[in-house]
Homo-oligomer: A and B are copies of this chain.
Amino acid sequence: MYQIDVMSRVPVYEQIIQQTERFILLGILREGDQMESVRHLSVKLSVNPNTIQKAISELDRRGLICTVPGKGSFISEMAMKALSISKRQELVGIKRQLVEMKMAGVSKLEIEKMIDEIYAEGKKGEQL
């Protein structure tokens, strides 16, 4: 499930967070599902337990999972909603980047084509 690239500049704990978010968005991890334990993940991913723990703590802090001492961590009921909100906040940064794209000479047509590509796949998804 998780794919860790130790040589990446993205910190390992950050990779775990990002991938967990994707799994939730994609519906692979759903409300109430139990996350694999720190020890399991540590062995499976060959990652230091402290690093896994850091990712877990951060996911908990963001309200995406609920950690019950002695039982484990579970995808929270508000996970999907929390993610939608936080992702939406990234729009501001994307807009700033796109403004720079425009200044760098990228045409509106080019951007629109990219948007179409992204949402075309979406339509297929809906048909399934």
Residues of chain A whose beta carbon lies under 8 Å from any beta carbon of chain B:
6-9, 11, 21-22, 25-26, 61, 66, 68-71, 83-84, 87-88, 90-91, 94-95, 97-106, 108, 111-112, 114-115, 117-119, 122
Docked complex Cα distance between A84 and B104 (Å) = 5
B118 touches A98 (CB 8 A): yes
Complex: how many Å from CA A98 to CA B95?
11
Q: Assuming A94-B101, A100-B87, is B108 touching A119 (CB within 8 A)?
A: yes
Which residues of B lie under 8 Å from residue A100 when comparing CB positions? 21-22, 25, 87, 90
- Specify which chain B residues have a CB less than 8 angstroms from the CB of A95 in the assembled complex: 114, 117-118
Alpha-carbon separation in the docked complex, A91 to B114 (Å): 9
